[in-house]
Amino acid sequence: MNLKAYGMALTTIIIWGSTFAAIRSSLHGGYTAGHLVLFRYLVASLIFLLYALLPGVTFRLPNKKDAFKILLLGWIGISIYHTGVTFGELTVTAGTAGMFIGSAPVFTALIAVIILKERLGISGWIGLSIGFIGIIIITLGTSGPNFEISPGVWLLLMSACAASVFFVFQKPLLKRYRPIELTAYFTWAGTLPFLLFSPGFFQTVQEATMEATMSAIYVGIFPAAIAYVTWSIALSIGNASSVTSMMYLEPAIAILTAWVWLNEWPSTLSIVGGFVAIGGVIIVNSFNAKQFKVQKKLNEYESY
């Protein structure tokens, strides 16, 4: 992976890793989950609108065959993902939420097998199995003494699946649109469903604490806008598997940020599960990287 792609990916992961603590901060400061996700994406949408209106900036309109795909991916990668994360953090700590989302590459591999008809091989399936065992351990770490699983777990797993679909299917679009164009379209499309949370929105903003509002502005500007652009740039100029491997760092950043900011710490069992899940992800991605190199050599041989 080239240096610029590495820098863009690392910047993204650091920002995204801090998101979970910022969301919890806003939820503790008076925002409802619905009003928070609406607030942050109104901010993000406004930023992209202002950018699009700058002198000299031109945005190409999506062509007809891409318009529906962009709309659908915006709903999946923005609307579904962020609804799941924000509502999920009502009952799950920020660090644990980060570990669930960090397991997204496990679902990406599963999507590649089911939808893209890719073959994993023995080591790939072993890695996938280890990843799912890790996810189960993280889940058990969120349960109480009666093993009642927190409802936020299911929402976070839904978000991890949504992120996987989003990352897999946006890659072809980056060949036809600039990263900032595509990110703006995803953001505007994904913001529309959040308007359902409009009732009572302005009253919540007025009654929330200053810290909660500043946290909401932060997640609207940085994770929701800037980080998606830097991630799209990384995907557009780097190898997809190398870029997504940077997500291994996100759970650690989420845990450390939550500890410093909120004095929150996941259960020991959840942390163990996080290590197991990431171990599975590393095995799957290592297998995919080897498979890619083998296929590339076969293609070169056939071209002679």
Alpha helices in the chain (DSSP H): 3-28, 33-52, 64-74, 81-88, 94-102, 104-114, 121-141, 151-170, 179-191, 201-207, 210-221, 227-237, 240-244, 250-262, 268-302
| Residue-level pLDDT at 175 | 84
pLDDT band at 172 (very low <50, low <70, confident <90, very high): confident
99-121 pLDDT tens trace: 888 877 778 777 777 776 667 67
263-296 pLDDT tens trace: 888 888 888 888 888 787 777 666 555 544 434 4
Residue 36 has pLDDT above 80, yes or no: yes
| Residue-level pLDDT at 299 | 38
Q: Which is higher by pLDDT, 235 or 65?
A: 65
Global pTM reads 0.82
| N- to C-terminal Cα separation, the chain | 27
CB-based contacts of 185-188 (< 8 A; 24+ apart in sequence): 185/62, 185/70, 185/74, 186/70, 186/73, 186/74, 186/77, 186/78, 186/228, 187/41, 187/44, 187/45, 187/48, 187/74, 187/78, 187/224, 187/225, 187/228, 188/45, 188/48, 188/74
CA–CA dist 266, 20 (Å, integer): 13
Cβ neighbors of 218 (< 8 A, separation 6 or more) are 22
| Residue-level pLDDT at 289 | 54
CA–CA dist 279, 142 (Å, integer): 20
Residue 301 has pLDDT above 70, yes or no: no
